[in-house]
Amino acid sequence: MLNQRKLRQVSNLDLKLLKTFIAVVQAGSFTGAEGVLNLSRSAISIYISDLEKRLGMKLCSRGRGGFSLTLEGQTVYDAALRLMGAAEQFQDEVNNTYSVLKGELNIGIIDNLVTIPHRTISKALSTLKRTSKEVRVNIRMSNPADITLALLEGELDVGVMPSLTPIDGLKLKPLYSETSSLYCSDEHPLFDQQESVKSIQQHAAVLPVYAEQMNLPDLFDKLQVAATSNDREGVAFLVLTHEYIGFLPDHYASRWVDKGEMRALLPRQFNYSTDFYIATRQAQRNRRVLDVFLQALETL
């Protein structure tokens, strides 16, 4: 039983521990929070224990039954979210007092979109930079799951990613679509053959880890899945081993196709489209920097 005592002052250390606690709760486990916090499970456990000692109460249970919040933990979690929101609102209001646009844009982007020909994101960021030299842009390249979590936690202001399922708490606006085809490398046995569905099925394939969420059984079930990757660069690495075939966005694969190092296999049959969205928090407070960026996207 932890000793009950009053928290007299919220220090920087308390804020750090509370942010760790929020990440654990939203990830649903210590293990799930490791990638978000870039900390080991043992370090996270120590932080949560330190927070419990500082507050004098047990916040959560973790064991064979899984992770769960105590009643006190739920109260602290709700209060911590309000505290972080108040700090963010303070920063926003201060930044909005400047006559010159000033502040930060924290943007998360799924990997390998820079090769899309129309370069919508780059053009919008260019507009933002021309609007004010006092804007700092922070880009995080990541996968859809991490971008979603960072948006919900307030670490990111805006995300560019595909949406496979509705996401509570996020507002999605269509941006563009991309087409992906099934590719092999120039040293793969299929490269110089007249391929067929049957011959394709005989070779090892790499699929994205979120393939099941894409609801394309008629496409993916035809393949001999031997590997997965959480991003498109990982797929490219495996295709270039000459041992795997895999789906890549056509705009991304073109660098190898143009050099004769890859080709698409039965592109009329083995292809799919992915819709990309601009994602922001539904409860997003007015932020001038974010507004300018979103307005720039709308004009492109």
pLDDT digits over 98-140, tens only?
567 888 999 999 877 777 767 889 999 999 999 888 899 999 9
Looking at residue 58, its pLDDT comes to 92
Which class is 100-169+279-299 in CATH? alpha beta
- Which of 7-15's residues contact partners 24+ apart within 8 Å by CB, and which partners? 7/54, 7/55, 10/83, 14/51, 14/54, 15/83
Indicate whether 286 pLDDT > 70: no
* Average pLDDT of the residues of the chain: 87
The mean per-residue pLDDT over the stretch 37-55 comes to: 90
Which residue in 117, 57, 128 sits closest to 255, CA to CA?
A: 117
Q: What is the pLDDT of residue 265?
A: 97
Higher confidence at residue 141 or residue 263? 263
Going by pLDDT thresholds of 50, 70 and 90, the confidence category of residue 3 is low
CATH of 12-94, one of 3.30.750.24, 3.40.50.360, 3.30.365.10, 1.10.10.10: 1.10.10.10
pTM of the model: 0.62
Report the pLDDT averaged over residues 242-257: 95
Distances, alpha carbon 234 to alpha carbons 91, 134, 228, in Å: 38, 36, 8
Lowest mean pLDDT segment, chosen from 10-14, 88-92, 251-255: 88-92
Domain spans of the chain, in order of start: 12-94, 100-169+279-299, 177-275
Residue with tokens 């083995």: 270
For residues 98 and 36, which has the higher predicted lDDT (pLDDT)? Answer: 36
Amino acid at 289: V
Same fold, 12-94 and 100-169+279-299: no
What CA–CA distance (Å, rounded) separates 216 from 222? 10
Percent of the chain with pLDDT over 90: 48
- Domain covering 177-275 in this structure, CATH number: 3.40.190.10
Between residues 167 and 82, the one the model is more confident about: 82
Binned at pLDDT 50, 70 and 90, residue 12 comes out as confident
Summarised one tens digit per residue, pLDDT across range 179-229 is 999 999 999 999 999 999 999 999 999 998 777 777 787 888 889 999 999
Indicate if the pLDDT at residue 270 is higher than 90: yes
- How does residue 61 score in pLDDT terms, banded at 50, 70 and 90? confident
- For 53, what's the count of Cα atoms within 13 Å in the CB-facing half-sphere? 7
> For residue 279, what pLDDT band results from cuts at 50, 70 and 90?
very high
User: Residue 195: its pLDDT value, please?
Assistant: 93
- What is the largest distance, in Å, between two alpha-carbon atoms of the chain? 75
165 or 293: which leads in pLDDT: 293
